Structure 1
Amino acid sequence: MDYKQRIQSALNYIESHVQEDIPCESLVALAGFSKSHFLRVFEAYTGFTVMSYVRGRKLDLAAERLRNSNDKITEIAYDYGFESHDVFGRAFKRVYGITPENYRRGRFLLPTFHAVNLALQQQGAEALIKTKPHTMIVTKPAMKLIGIECRFEDGVSSPDLWKQYFEEWQQTFGNIAHLRVESEKEIDYALTVDRDESGYTYFIGIEVTSVDHVPSGTIARLIPKTKYAMFTAIGPVEESIGRTYDHIFKEWFPSSSFQTAPGPIMEHYDMRCATHLGIPPEKHEMDIYIPIEPVKTETKEIIELQPYRAAYYKAVGTKGRKWHQIKKEAFDVMIAWTLSQGIDQSNLRIRAHNNGGAPEEDFYYEVYMDVTGIDISITEDSLISLIDFEGGLYVVTPTLHRMLEPTGEAFCKWFDQQEKYKMTGEWFEEFFIHGGKVTLDTLIRIHFEAKRLLVTEGKL
């Protein structure tokens, strides 16, 4: 799955769950990125932070309900995840400049916030860049910076930090100018730090040799030795910087073996973009440093499962029942039984198997859990039975419930490329259930039984 498909899957999830609480962590897991990387890539493709996009869709659909129904405003507010009528009203007015009540009475024309469909977006971040950014992988030593900063969040007006920086430079930094590293080059740095789903903190300052004296109104930032992808943007800064960020997150990262690492993204401005020295804007250059690390892939664990005794229940399909109803029945029965036996509910490990793809009347869902050595009671009228399972060699990979299908498909492809192991066809999923409830965020370990292959001179 490429970057665009991953972000579209997150957008599709938002659209189908827009009336629910949508934690950013769920979207991160769905896209399969680290959180810091997901936040950057999502904004590059949509132009919005995650929470501003979610809020925009909720308010857009709520406005449609206000216009086309007689539902109570409080009911609409709750349906779209707002804590109260007042919270909804403030959010509505902040975005549209009018209260929900006045909008319903006046039927004003509001700007729409359409769902993003990346397939309909024009291609061509590359086409907009006449000169491709020069790219290098570099490691910069630890840095000390002193500067000013401001938090930028959606819907909250913020000062022009660059204007403030230049206007107050002498007053603010004049007494520490002698501490500036490479002062003859007049280098300024801008950092994007503390990015989350609703905004980020922007820092502008200078690199110094010491932070023993930090002027009033400024803050020190210490950056450890870091590996970066460095991109040199060419052209008028106000135009080239946006195009270069598009190139980085839409073109360079998807074709690289890296993702963003924790740490600030850094912009480096020096004499190459000094208009006062007569350098024309079309020849301006500035550097963008993105902290990077190798893309992490889930490792496969090889385990030797010993024979065990399990509590077992099989939910069987009937015509007219959907597979998810049968699955729910299976888990409900097993979880209720564990509760009756006094088994610790804080972290149940329930294994499951099904014959997916079968007609409804033939579908079944089995659940079982290892009870070897546990004192349990099975009565004649119990829905639960005891069954002995053979052990075996299994290859295991972790995933989340919401990512079960794509992870399973990727796992099968992984086996196709192996020379050491071959699937036998037996498999099960192990659910790590907290609080007696299966959710989309439930951790799962997929187990495929395998046999070792004898490899001789590179051939099977």
Structure 2
Amino acid sequence: MHAYEAIEQSLTFIEEHLTKEISTEELANTVGLSPFYFQRLFKRLVNKPVQEYVKLRRLAKVIENLKSTDQRILDVALEYGFSSHANFTRAFKETYGITPESYRRDLPMLNTFDKPEVSMNYVLIDEGVPLVVGNIVLEIKRKTLEKPEIYFGLETEVCISEQMPVGESTGVDVPGQLWKRYHMEKASIAANLNTTVEMGMSHAEGTAQNLFTYFAGGLVQNIPDRLQDGFVKRELSAGEYIVCRVEAENFEDLVTVALDQASKYLFGTWLQHHSLTTEPFSAEKYYRDAEDMAYMEIWVKPLPLKNKS
């Protein structure tokens, strides 16, 4: 068994026992490793200590319950191993910056820590070869955009260290909140949009250190004489791109777990192994016209060799 396979096996065990007591020693025993070596390997591959990861996965499950059921907050907390309401509230607020009561009342979008697919760090696919991992399919190709695409939407600045997957930090999902706002306000520009394509664009050029600008909007099918107040126009420029297509079982999984895992693979594994650098931006194109699947694409622009440093 490869080392990463042992950790993947332990991650599956954790998922199946989140409502039960989970000790580090028990996890080490299930994969035949000493507790000392298991903890070192786990932290290296998951980027979290064992019990911190268990806590974050339990909190993620709690959030799912608070959003989709009428269970009392205390009952959900006790179900997932928190010893008291005070203990649970403290852990929740330290992790997400708000109380469980505030979350249930306002239902903001949060960055939660998803179960990672560790094996993705050790698989290098060729262009045009699909990779099936967990519940997603991804494929990387090169594409040429012959003419620019115009998008109308909303924009905000985001702290890099506080957003997943780049910052590995939990808390309020600022891009997700921007998407919620866009979908609430887009009716005023709907006549100008192609409703089957939406784009999220991140770019760091021209922003302060540790910040990036995030845009959320829809593809324009006709340009008005005047853009509605509060909205901005952004362009996906013509040129050569590396495109990572991602498919998932449903749209919610696509924009959370699948996007997180695909981004980590593209930027953390694939581009690095191909010795490629890209311009300081990426685009997420979401397609709403497929009935039998949910899919999106991550677009990045490779830098010419002469511009690489």
Common fold: TM-score over 0.5: no
Larger RCO: 1 or 2 (CA < 8 Å, sep 6+):
2
Q: Which structure shows the higher helix fraction?
A: 2
